[in-house]
Structures are given as structure tokens and as C-alpha cells.
Chains A and B, each alone.
Chain A
Amino acid sequence: MTRLCVDIPVVETDRLVLREPRESDLEAHVAFMTGDRSRFVGGPVDRSQAVRGFMSMVGHWVFRGYGLWVMALKTDDTPIGRIGFIYPDGWDEPEIGWHVYDGHEGQGYAFEAAKAALPVGSAKFGLDGVISYVAPGNARSIALAERLGATVERERELLGATCRVYRHPKQAEAS
């Protein structure tokens, strides 16, 4: 028998739990990826592509040992977005990526999650001083990257669009 094993650590913040993806999170993800707010993260896509992307989350943890968490509200476990470390084929190196679903933006959730996720990446996954690919027009994510202390290193083409490569400070340097 082939035994597939994946250990997805649970990370808690004041208001959030970063946890493994569950099938019950699927519809929230599909709604986001088929909607206009996914335009900076490879969307909008059709339903089947969104479903495939969701299933890929689990496979990413299996293959890389790290991946995207679902950001869920501590109060009622509502999935409000995703954050984590991704390194698919075509990426130069692992990045920390995030997106917040409709209706939950503007409340500092992504910042809160990123502040908790970055040290986990360094301590558990050996990912320190990682990059974030951010589309030049994605003002919210640019603001978050800069708030996290990341700086623009260069630009590159990614999946047919230009994006900025932000470099996060190493954990030892991050305040």
C-alpha cells in the first residue's frame, strides 16, 4: 500500500485559525476564484478550474511539505481566505501568497495571518526570507507586502502577466 501522509500544522492568531483545507471550504473558494476579485491571483476561472485549484492545495502539502492554509475565523470556522507557502512548477522559489475572500477584506486578517505564518515557514519548513509575487495593480497586496517589510527586488513575467517580486526580510531581521 502507498501511504500518503501530510502533516499540516494548525496556526492560531488572535482572531484566526490557519488550518488544513476541508471539502466544506470548497464553495467559498469557488465563489472567490470565479469572481472578479481573483483577477490578481490567476482568476477569474471557471468552476472546474477553481475546484482543481482547491484540490491542488492538498497535493501541494504532500509534495512540498508545505502549502496553503485556509484562513478560518476562530469564532465560527468560516473560511475567509487562504495564506501560505507555494512553490509550483514555473516558480523561481517558494513564495508566501495570500488572498481574502469577499466581505472579509479590510480588517487586517491577511496581515495577522502573515505575521503568524512567516515564522512558521522559517521554523518548520526552512523557508526564510521568501518572496511574494504581486501584480503591480494589486494595491491591497502591495500595501500588505510593504507593511510586512518586504521590498521590491525585480519584476518578472508570471503566467503571462508582469508581476513584482517582493522579498521578505529574514525572520531574524523582522521585528
Chain B
Amino acid sequence: MSLPEIPVIETRRLILRGPEAEDYPDFKATFSSYRSRFMGGPLNAYEAWMLYAAEIGHWQIRGYGMWMIHHRDTGATLGMAGGWKPAKWPEAEIAWIIWPDKAGQGFALEATNAVRQYFYGTLGWDGAVSYLDPKNLDSIRLAERLGATRDKTAASVDGNDVVYRHPAPAALEGTQLAHGIDMEISHYADPLFQPKGYALD
């Protein structure tokens, strides 16, 4: 039985690869912590391991899934981002999680923007949603930075989540939104960059 090849996605600061067995301790550390409270956690060792195994199973069943985000320079894992659609999920979801001690550096934005480009450009998706816990303000903020907006009419997973709908592919081709996302990512990557002067109006 062969499994789909998991493409490697590279961005300026990140390399996204399929989840490997050696990355499991990092995954377990986050999913057994309070950080995972919006993603069904905290999980015990058994639950964490089964979920990690399910990450691989998802790739096999759907042909896409969640990538492990690695720092390009150090190789360290930073979190995960990708697509998630278990059976009976209303729509394909773009999902992400960043390890708690790696947050605040724009990694989720950079990784999620890259996987969305892959789903739209390579797999031909015509849209996607993210199912978010309404208390998960960091992720709601990230969804908004990615141009997603609350869709109150869309079906949620179980009524306890809110649906954010990502902009369609056309809304991300050469648009102000796309440029804004690229600029925000580049500012994280190059914090020395300073705009010259001030806008007067």
C-alpha cells in the first residue's frame, strides 16, 4: 500500500514537511499542554499518539493533511499547518497550531499562507474555511490577517465553533490583500526593515 508523497513547501524562513516519528515529542509536548485547549486537548499520552498517527492517516485518506513546520536555519519544529477534513467535516479546513514558546514571530501566518497557496494553486481548491473556538482569539486574529471573514451561515462542526471563510483564490492574486499578507510576513522575517518617512494623509 503506498501513501501519497507529501510535498515539501519552502518559505523564506520555514520548511514544511510531512510529520515524522522523530517530531512526535514536540507534538506531544504541546498537545499535552494547556496550549491545545482549543484543539481537543490537553491529551494524555495515548490520545496524543493516536492523534499524531491520525495526522499521517489523514494524508493517506485525503491526499493532503497537516505539515510539520520547521525553522529553515535550525531545523527545529515550530508547529503544524495544513488541511484537515475528517469524515463529515462540512468543508475542508485550513488549520494551524504553533508551539507555545514559538508564538508571536509570525510563523503561523507565514506557514498558513504558504499552505493555502498550495491548496489553491496546486490542488485547485476554490476556497476553504477554518473552524475556530470563539475563545481562541489568537487564531481568530490570524484568520483575519489572512483575509478570512466570519461566515455565520456556514455549517459548523458541532455548533461550538465559529466558521471563518478564507478569501477565494481570485481575491489573493495580485490584490492589496495578498500584498498586505506578503508585507507582514516580510516584516517578521526582516525586522530591521523600516519604512522611510511617514504617511502624511
Contact = CB atoms under 8 A, between A and B. Distances in A.
A47 interface: yes
B48 interface: yes
A57 interface: yes
B59 interface: yes
Contact of B50 (A20, A47, A88): A88
A89 B60 CA distance: 21
A26 B60 CA distance: 14
Could you say which interface size class chain B belongs to?
Answer: 35 or more
Contacts of A52: 50-51, 54, 86
Contacts of B8: 1-2
Contacts of B45: 88-90
B88 A51 contact: yes
B46 A90 contact: yes
A89 B49 contact: yes
B2 to A, nearest CB: 6
Interface string B59-94: 111000000000000000000000000111000000
A59 B53 contact: yes
Contacts of B46: 88-91, 159
A35 interface: no
24 contacts: A1-B5, A1-B6, A2-B7, A2-B20, A4-B59, A4-B60, A5-B2, A20-B1, A48-B86, A48-B157, A55-B53, A55-B58, A55-B61, A56-B57, A57-B53, A58-B60, A59-B54, A59-B55, A59-B56, A62-B53, A63-B56, A88-B45, A88-B49, A88-B53
Interface of A: 1-8, 20, 23, 26, 30, 47-48, 51-60, 62-63, 88-91, 159
